[in-house]
Structure 1
């Protein structure tokens, strides 16, 4: 006997088809979302470092003194002052201060380490020093490479890598 009322709800086959379609869409969306999250993370790191570089340059011009920016292994030393390191790795944090590199005269900004994966590598070790006229003191132009997590083991991540160049005149630009 058939009921005069139409059956309400979904059949098992309809539910399986919907779940399969949702699984396919999710499988396609997850890698894109992961790349988007990595791009946003790298963009935030680029913004932080370029703003610190601009700050250092503008402070050198404003104060008429040398202002330095350098990487550090431990920006939050409890029983002392953070120190510059002679490293290419800027992901552990960096310092902006008035004075010469390794003297750590007066801090302007202390950047804490980034918790996400990836790296920020300079093309040379040590820090950057801006003269009172805003140009770099030593070494000429510098390049910073922002690498996503797994950049060394996953070739597809190479496309997410970004670079920022600092010219010898102190001008910043993507490169």
Structure 2
């Protein structure tokens, strides 16, 4: 008599059950990892925009502004997830002309919100700020998972995690 090789039905069902248990634990962790990755990307993009604005102000010795913009041409919103623009305000009128525009940050497409500053963040000609500023990025998980980009009056930026007590997410 020949001995047959392979899996029995019971062995196959046990393997499937083990894989199902492992997958049910791993999928929520994977979703959380993906959300954290999206937040990190947006925070890094905002911080890079702020660092570029500071550099442009100090290098060109001109007031440089960042503001929320849904049309990528004018400062028209406080909801920064609609997009943002960076411009050199050579005529100091608070609005961007085509010649003054430096960088456009596109709208956020994954449902996250970016709030905090009303109006524009203005870097003075020496790269400093008249007052400190903060933007917070929130996703569907709320304040405990949010991130903040803080600017001190020297124009330096810092990223921190949001605390439920000091961050309000829409």
TM-score between both structures, scaled by the size of structure 1: 0.83
Q: Residue 80 of structure 2 aligns to a residue in which SS?
A: coil
Could you say which residue in structure 2 is the equivalent of 1:98?
Answer: 88
C-alpha contact 1:84 1:101 (8 A) present in aligned 2: no
| Alpha-carbon contact 1:95-1:107 (below 8 Å) kept | yes
Q: Distance between the aligned counterparts of 2:112 and 2:13, measured in 1?
A: 39
**Equivalent residues of 1:141, 1:167 under 8 A apart:** yes
Q: Does 1:144 align with 2:135?
A: yes
- Structure 2 residue runs without a partner (length 5+): 161-170
Question: What corresponds to 1:83 in structure 2?
Answer: 74
Give the aligned length. Answer: 156
Larger Rg: 1
Q: Can you give the 5+ residue segments of structure 1 that lack an aligned partner in the other structure?
A: 76-81, 153-157
User: How big is each residue's C-alpha offset from its partner over 1:81-114, in whole Å with a ceiling of 9 and x where there is no partner?
Assistant: x211241x21111000010464203110011112
The answer as to 2:165 corresponding to 1:165 is no
Change (3 A) 1:101 1:21: farther
* Structure-2 residue corresponding to 1:20: 17
List per-residue Cα deviations over 1:58-92 (Å, max 9, x = no partner).
000000101110001222xxxxxx211241x2111
Secondary structure of the structure 2 residue equivalent to 1:135: coil
Structure 2 length normalisation: TM-score?
0.86
Question: Secondary structure of 2:85's match?
Answer: strand
